[in-house]
Amino acid sequence: MSILIDRNSKVLVQGITGRQGGFHARLMMEYGTNVVGGVTPGKGGEWFDGKPVFDTMRAAVKTKYADVSLVTVPARFAADAIMEAADAGIKLVICLTEHIPVADMMRVLAFCRQRGTRLIGPNCPGVMTPGEAKVGIIPAMVALPGDVGVVSKSGTLTYEVGFAMKNRGIGNSTIVGIGGDPVIGTTFVDILEMFENDPDTKKVALLGEIGGSAEIAAADYIKTSMTKPVAAFIAGRSAPPGKRMGHAGAIVDGGEGSADEKIQALEAAGARVAANPEEIPDLLS
Amino acid sequence: MSILIDRNSKVLVQGITGRQGGFHARLMMEYGTNVVGGVTPGKGGEWFDGKPVFDTMRAAVKTKYADVSLVTVPARFAADAIMEAADAGIKLVICLTEHIPVADMMRVLAFCRQRGTRLIGPNCPGVMTPGEAKVGIIPAMVALPGDVGVVSKSGTLTYEVGFAMKNRGIGNSTIVGIGGDPVIGTTFVDILEMFENDPDTKKVALLGEIGGSAEIAAADYIKTSMTKPVAAFIAGRSAPPGKRMGHAGAIVDGGEGSADEKIQALEAAGARVAANPEEIPDLLS
Amino acid sequence: MKLHEYQSKALFQEYGIPIPQGRVAETSREAGAIAAELGGTVVVKAQVHVGGRGKAGGVKVARDAAAAERHAQAILGMNIKGLTVEKVLIDEAADIQQEIYLAITNDRSAGQPLLMTSMQGGMDIEELNRTRPDAIIREHIDPILGLQPYQMTYIASAMRLPRAHWRSFLKILSGLYACYNKSDAELAEINPLVITGAGALLAVDGKVIIDDNALYRQPALTAQRDSSDEPESERLAREAGITYIKLEGQIGCMVNGAGLAMTTMDMTKLYGEAHGIGPANFLDIGGGATPEQVATALSIILSDANVKAVLFNIFGGITRCDEVARGILTAYNAVQPEVPMVIRLQGTNAAEGKKIISEAQLPHLISAETLTEAAQRAVAAVQESA
Amino acid sequence: MKLHEYQSKALFQEYGIPIPQGRVAETSREAGAIAAELGGTVVVKAQVHVGGRGKAGGVKVARDAAAAERHAQAILGMNIKGLTVEKVLIDEAADIQQEIYLAITNDRSAGQPLLMTSMQGGMDIEELNRTRPDAIIREHIDPILGLQPYQMTYIASAMRLPRAHWRSFLKILSGLYACYNKSDAELAEINPLVITGAGALLAVDGKVIIDDNALYRQPALTAQRDSSDEPESERLAREAGITYIKLEGQIGCMVNGAGLAMTTMDMTKLYGEAHGIGPANFLDIGGGATPEQVATALSIILSDANVKAVLFNIFGGITRCDEVARGILTAYNAVQPEVPMVIRLQGTNAAEGKKIISEAQLPHLISAETLTEAAQRAVAAVQESA
């Protein structure tokens, strides 16, 4: 078992005929993900590696039943693509696209809530259930099947930690990149709750960073509601305040959102916080 | 028993310090309605006939628990007033105001659906449960307590029919004016369903008119789902097509919405349709 | 409020929708000059607020300016379904390869805007709905969110519009929605939207109806009102805040409330139809009518020479019957009607009202207790006058 | 992108928000002329993208033009928290009776715009939140529906604004929301919004931050960018599509991915802090960096004279390590660095990448297997260079 996706998930790729979308769709299929088709407006009727391409999500969902959609379209079109997926009845949308304006995301999020659609991301590496399926860009080589759930705001840092675990023979139930943008569809708390309820997840690694208060909310949840052990790392202890560290959300503002504050909250909640992400496997043993 | 309102309903009047709002608030209180206060922005802290006036619905609901709101403000402010009531947690809003633009009503209706608020009207005479409470402008003298439910698009036509019943000793469980605008919060079908489920309603009178297809939907509902007898009258047999007969919704357009079409559908559904509204009491005996 | 074709198309153009070159003319000479200026073949089109003008001869193609002037002369002043043509639109003729139907309207049942489109344009939507309902693509629009890009793609794809036209069509969809939305339109219709031989899209005919209740916030559109085809009596009533619609019968009706006004008309027809008698008008004097408004309403009713009797049906709710009775007396004295007037007062203060009427002892006044009785007496009064 | 005070207030004015008369000056003479033109008492205010300018002496009241010129001379060129003042705003002084705080910002947790206001204006929101949290009225705004009139009434009522000011305040609320919304702002703040002795409302100070990701659709705002206080190296990086932030340490970092870049910085600090060694910069070369971008990034890192070692940390996912290795060689040949470079390649095609690097046998190249090892070696290299 796992959370969010598994070998039975039926996936549509929005933007499948694009360079990024096509590249990752192929890697996902190689990994074993059940990609049932793709959507590119104006290219309906074409084929992509044996999978049908549709003009619209509505047509795609009508023809090929699907659970999950992966949004890989450019930032100007991404908000519309997410809403299209939600409107077509998709209940899990994973959006890789970065640089989507926050105003668009707030509207999209309200829309997704109305439709009962869960959004992961944007600006995230996606979700992988090792040995079963991956939806997004997490490289196959960074993880083994196992019982540690991973939830992270960052892409390559997740690979780093997954890889460190793999080198120690530790595998993962599901790896979820929630993204580093200020407004995201799914938070640490949402995913921690899923891991807490997932019988195949025994322990959890949480990778946070400066900016916002999502890690503080996670600490509250860990303190009040989690029985499974949590190891954590917070990136950005050396980041100066008032500067945006690459991720649109990674900024310490008015003294809020610092790494130290988050580390303290997580430690007070009983999580074990690593000073070096390569120590996470030790904290999980 | 009854539907929508009874002697226990706690009512706020939006626009209570206005000429119309104040006049009807007094008549409602005289009738026995539990008016707990009113709202007029900028007049919070004043009193109206011993009832507190608030600046906002939020403040009013926080101070005085209320179930029902009556909107009596002018058309330019009515859409906002309905949304304010819904946002403040009121689950039944009755709007008397006429001449609200349809575009505003469509937005308001979508908002009310999101909030789980039922809207009656706009441009309606309101609701009366004879002997218990009235919220709106239906005159006390037109009805007795009894077991006939009345639902109507029109104001004075409703009084006419109520009065004809009263003169024959027939009383009403609840009288509901749903309004004659093209887009309204509550339809014939909604109210028929409530009457069907109300143990104190034994029979139903439906007063429709030309325009739209709400009476056709009502006929479908009567045919498929109603066990209680329905007597009906449809106004506008003599109205020419393409002309708006006073009510914004009362127009036969492109051959659709004619009185004859509606009468046929109701008769086919088993309702007894009067050619003269003063015959309704006969059809109910 | 209905806009004329030329007004609708000018509005479309403001929202980036391409329309043919053209201008409106009120004289045939002007029409000829416009045709000369446009050059080539033009279409001369009657501007009246009524459908079916083509069949009535109100639309003609002209190969040159002289022909345009000739056609304009024939069309201007023409009577189409009771309306006189006062303006013609001279448009360059489009090279039509394909006609598309496209409209956004208020869907009453859903409480949402509804976009309808079809590759089978040219015929009206009712006819299309009857003959090719499957050829109509229908898409509801969230009234808060508005028309979204993904919906536009869906529409273009579902209607099987050739891909080459998607980009232009999507711009037109988005323009038409903005036009509908920002203008408080009840209907914004392009029919036909034409694909020309050169592959361009062009709104060749258009129809916009503005929500009367929203005119207060649409000053630019309100200023375009053309009352020339509105009967004088209806215009006077509108300006006095009374809803009045002239009909063909003999019984003038004055009623409070729209539903009851329609019902009162229906009753005069119910009891009069066998004798060729029916309602002369719809008139709703509303809730708080003043004696002055009652007098104005009565003058308007009596300005119709067909009227042989007047029926007052007042069910007092908020309206008090004694006040209405006083209004009737004021109106009576001001207007001095010579036809019989049946007066039925019921509801709040009905007894006082009836007393006021009966004590005035005016000629031609007939009182009635019920609506049925009132309608029957009005029919009888018309019969007696014959 | 931050707007200066004078730019923010000009934007407010476009949305109907009243602001003091005033203009910006780049020389003291110009400042004096503006003050003379305005007449009366003025305020001379440093325009820098940093808080606390008042305490730093960057805001001065002047009773006449001569004083304004004097103050402008003192303020222009002043260094405030590392930034040089290049412009001053000369505003007429307001007659302040009451200061209000008013702002709309993105609430990350709620995923909704949040309006905050308080009758305790003048101090910043963090201070207000610490000292008088109960005095702040907070109202979320539905991102699809926008700020509704009833919410504005609620805000005015809840903050206990005297009724006399409601009408002006509601206009300002609605203007500020439109400004925030139409400008894709992350923050639109008026602080203080002043009630003057004459009872008028006036936005005396303002701050607007635009969402960088939305600049593509905000050309008018983008054109207002003032890069004068942006370090040359950051500007070059921005123009090359690389995120670079200069810091104070000695280890230049080049990493793929923002989270890993921060982490790499953290590791240099973790192992270097005891020796006074830390990161010289944040740099994310992104996913698909070309050899040219790697070269540009390396030049930018090395343009910082503090840099004593460079640490490459690449975790190949989509990025292939062999390609990065080739990029590093290209960059190396182009830039000819003289400081040691620690290279850690991991992930996709890591073996090939390492082979390419080792076969090149370039001087100053140190390889590492893990992030820990890489950070430790970079720290050691800096220590050796000292």
CB A260 within 8 A of CB A237: yes
Of D148, D149, D157, the CB nearest to B55: D157
Asked whether C306 and C249 are in contact (CB, 8 A), the reply is yes
**Catalytic amino acids of D?**
101, 189
Render pLDDT for D251-266 as a digit per residue (tens, 0 to 9): 999 999 999 999 999 9
CB of B72 within 8 Å of any CB in chain C? no
Mean pLDDT of B122-130: 96
Per-residue confidence at B114, pLDDT binned at 50, 70, 90? very high
pLDDT at residue C336, rounded to an integer = 86
CB contact under 8 A, D150 and B111: no
Mean per-residue pLDDT, A121-149: 96
Closest CA to A81 of C300, D336, C151: C151
Nearest Cβ partner for C184 among B103, B182, B240: B103
Whole-number pLDDT of residue D284: 92
Q: How far apart are CA B125 and CA D253, in angstroms?
A: 73
**What confidence tens digit (pLDDT) does each residue in D137-159 have?**
999 999 999 999 999 999 999 99
A223 within 8 A of A269, measured Cβ to Cβ: yes
Domain boundaries of chain C, sorted by first residue: 21-92, 96-222, 231-385
Do A42 and C163 make contact, defined as CB atoms within 8 angstroms? yes
Select the highest-mean-pLDDT range: A78-92, A247-261, C320-334: A78-92
User: Which option is the CATH number for C21-92: 3.20.20.70, 3.10.20.30, 3.30.1490.20, 1.10.287.3240?
Assistant: 3.30.1490.20
Kind and range of the H or E run holding C39: none
Q: Tell whether B55 lies on the interface with D, counting CB pairs under 8 A.
A: yes
CA distance D313 to D333: 19
Q: Return the closest-CA partner of residue D368 out of D354, D347, D385.
A: D354
Contacts of A among chains (3+ CB pairs under 8 A) = C, D
Residue whose pair of structure tokens reads 């009510």 in the numeric block = B247
Task: Give the B window 101-140 contacts with C, CB below 8 Å.
Answer: 101-107, 109-111, 125, 137-139
Using an 8 Å CB-CB cutoff, list chain B residues near C272: none
With contact defined as 3+ CB pairs under 8 Å, the chains touching D are: A, B, C
- pLDDT 10s digits, D282-302: 999 877 677 788 888 999 999
CA distance D190 to D182: 17
Q: Are A199 and A241 in contact (CB under 8 A)?
A: no
CB contact under 8 Å between B56 and D145, yes or no, is no
Judged by CB atoms closer than 8 Å, whether chains meet at D261 and A246 is answered as yes
> Residue B163 is inside which H or E element, if any?
helix B156-167
Paired sense of beta strands C42-46 and C88-92, if any: antiparallel
Assess D144–C contact: CB distance below 8 Å, yes or no: yes
Reported as half-sphere exposure (CB side, CA atoms, 13 A), residue B7 has a value of 8
C-alpha span between D342 and D384 (Å, rounded)? 14
- CB atoms C113 and B23 under 8 Å: no
Q: Assess contact for D185 and D208: CB atoms under 8 A.
A: yes
Side chain identity at residue C217, one-letter code:
R
pLDDT at B177 over 70: yes
Of D214, D268, D317, nearest to A101 by CB-CB distance is D214
Please check whether residue C11 is in contact with residue C179, taking contact to mean a CB–CB distance below 8 angstroms.
yes
Mean pLDDT score across all residues of chain C: 93
Torsion of CA C59, C63, C66, C72, to 10 degrees: 10
Q: Which of A103, A156, A157 sits opposite D214 (nearest CB)?
A: A103
Q: What integer pLDDT is reported at residue C323 of this predicted model?
A: 85
Using a CB–CB cutoff of 8 Å, tell me whether D166 touches chain B: yes
Share of chain D above pLDDT 90, in %: 75
Question: What is the reported pLDDT for D331?
Answer: 85
Question: Could you say which of B238, B277, B278 has the minimum Cβ distance to residue C278?
Answer: B238
CB < 8 Å to C145, chain A: 107, 111
User: Measured between alpha carbons, how far is A83 from D295 in angstroms, rounded to an integer?
Assistant: 40
C213–B100 CB contact, under 8 Å: yes
- Determine what percent of chain C is predicted with pLDDT higher than 90: 75
Q: What is the pTM of this model?
A: 0.94
Tokens representing residue C91 in the block: 């448009």
Interchain proximity D316–A139, CB inside 8 Å: yes
Of C101, C180, C244, C332, catalytic: C101
Proportion of chain B above pLDDT 90, given as a percent: 91
d(CA B50, CA B69): 18
The reply to whether CATH 1.10.10.10 applies to domain A139-284 is no
Which residues of chain C does B277 touch, with a Cβ-Cβ cutoff of 8 Å? 263, 371
Are A241 and D235 in contact by the 8 Å Cβ rule? The answer is: no
Nearby residues of C93 by Cβ (< 8 Å), 6 or more positions away: C20, C40, C41, C42, C43, C61
ipTM: 0.93
pLDDT value of position A1: 63
Q: Which residue has the higher pLDDT, C295 or A22?
A: A22
Burial of B51 by CB count in 10 Å (0-12 exposed, 13-18 middle, 19+ buried)? middle
Mean pLDDT of the D54-72 span: 94
**Distance from the B79 Cα atom to the nearest Cα atom in chain D, whole angstroms:** 10
User: B87 and D150: CB-CB below 8 Å?
Assistant: yes
Shortest alpha-carbon distance between residue C330 and chain D (Å): 43
Q: Which fold is adopted by the domain D231-385?
A: Rossmann fold (3.40.50)
Closest CA to C51 of C155, C124, C104, C117: C124
> What are C52-63's pLDDT values in tens digits?
888 889 999 999
- Contact, C210 vs C3, CB < 8 A? yes
Note whether A56 contacts C154, CB cutoff 8 Å.
yes
What is the Cα gyration radius of chain D? Answer: 26
Fold match between domain A11-120 and domain A139-284:
yes
Could you give the count of Cα atoms lying within 13 Å of D10 in the half-sphere of its Cβ?
Answer: 12
Answer yes or no: do C111 and B183 touch at CB < 8 A. yes
Put simply, whether A35 touches C (Cβ < 8 Å) is no
B46 touches chain D (CB under 8 A): no
Across chain A, mean pLDDT equals: 95
| Residue A45 buriedness (CB in 10 A; 0-12 / 13-18 / 19+) | exposed
Residue of A nearest to C162 (CA): A42
What pLDDT was estimated at residue A152? Answer: 97
Q: What is the pLDDT of residue B187?
A: 97
Task: Give the closest-approach CA distance of B45 to chain D in angstroms.
Answer: 11
pLDDT-derived band of residue A64, with 50, 70 and 90 as boundaries? confident
Backbone phi and psi for residue C216, each to the nearest 5 degrees, phi listed first: -60, -25
For residue D83, the surrounding DSSP H or E stretch is: strand D83-84
**C154–A contact, CB cutoff 8 A:** yes
Residues 6+ apart with CB under 8 A from B244: B250, B251
Task: Please determine, for residue B278, whether its predicted confidence score (pLDDT) is greater than 80.
Answer: yes
Q: How confident is the model at residue A114 (pLDDT cuts 50, 70, 90)?
A: very high
Contact D377, D368 (CB under 8 A): yes
CA distance A197 to chain C (A): 36
Contact predicate D155/D173, CB 8 Å: yes
Give DSSP secondary structure letters for D295-313: HHHHHHHHTSTT--EEEEE
* Weakest mean pLDDT among A236-240, C79-83, C147-151, C252-256: C79-83
Rounded to the nearest 10 degrees, how much is the dihedral formed by the CA atoms of B219, B221, B222, B228?
A: -150
Is residue D65 scored above 70 in pLDDT? yes
Whether the predicted pLDDT of B253 surpasses 80: no
Instruction: Tell me the two tokens of residue D352.
Output: 């090939």
Q: How much is the average pLDDT of D186-213? A: 96
DSSP β-bridge partners for residue D44: D60, D90
Which among D150, D157, D166 is the nearest to B83, CB-wise?
D150
Question: For position C241, what pLDDT does the model report?
Answer: 83
Q: How do residues A213-235 score in pLDDT, each as one tens digit? A: 999 999 999 999 999 999 999 99
Q: C99 an active-site residue?
A: no
The whole-angstrom separation of Cα D369 and Cα D382 is 19
One CATH from 3.40.605.10, 3.40.50.2300, 3.20.10.10, 3.30.470.20 for D96-222: 3.30.470.20
Tell me the two tokens of residue C146.
Answer: 């508005």
Q: Are D256 and D294 in contact (CB under 8 A)?
A: no
- Of C170, C193, C181, C269, nearest in space to C20 by CA: C193
* Enclosing H/E stretch for B60: helix B57-63
At B71-96, the pLDDT tens digits run: 999 999 999 999 999 999 999 999 99
Q: Does D282 contact B at CB distance below 8 Å?
A: no
Distance CA B23, CA B16 (A): 8
Question: What is the pLDDT, as a whole number, of residue A256?
Answer: 80
Cβ neighbours of C284 in B, within 8 Å: 246
Tell whether C148 lies on the interface with D, counting CB pairs under 8 A: no
> How much is the pLDDT for D70?
96
Residue of D nearest to C144 (CA): D145
Residue pLDDT, tens place only, C199-242: 999 999 999 999 999 999 999 999 999 877 778 888 888 888 88
Are the beta carbons of C243 and B249 separated by less than 8 Å? no
Average pLDDT over residues A104-115: 97
Q: CB-based contact (8 Å) between C145 and chain D?
A: yes
Tell whether the model's pLDDT for residue C150 goes beyond 80: yes
Tallying the residues shown for chain C, one arrives at: 386
What's the token pair of residue D290?
A: 């070309």
Size of interface B-D (CB pairs under 8 A): 32
Determine the average pLDDT of the residues in C109-116: 95
- Cβ-nearest to D282 among A142, A160, A245: A245
Does D213 sit within 8 Å of A247, measured CB to CB? no
The answer to whether B53 and B13 are in contact (CB under 8 A) is no
For the domain spanning B11-120, the CATH number is: 3.40.50.720
In DSSP notation, D124-164 reads: -HHHHHHH-GGG-EEEE--TTT---HHHHHHHHHHTT--GG
Question: Once rounded to an integer, what is the mean pLDDT over residues C103-114?
Answer: 94
State whether residue C164 sits within 8 Å of chain B by CB.
no
| Angle, vertex CA A117, rays to CA A116 and CA A123, nearest 5 | 145
Got the DSSP string for B206-271? EEEESSSSHHHHHHHHHHHH--S-EEEEEE-TTPPTT---SSTT---BTTBS-HHHHHHHHHHTT-
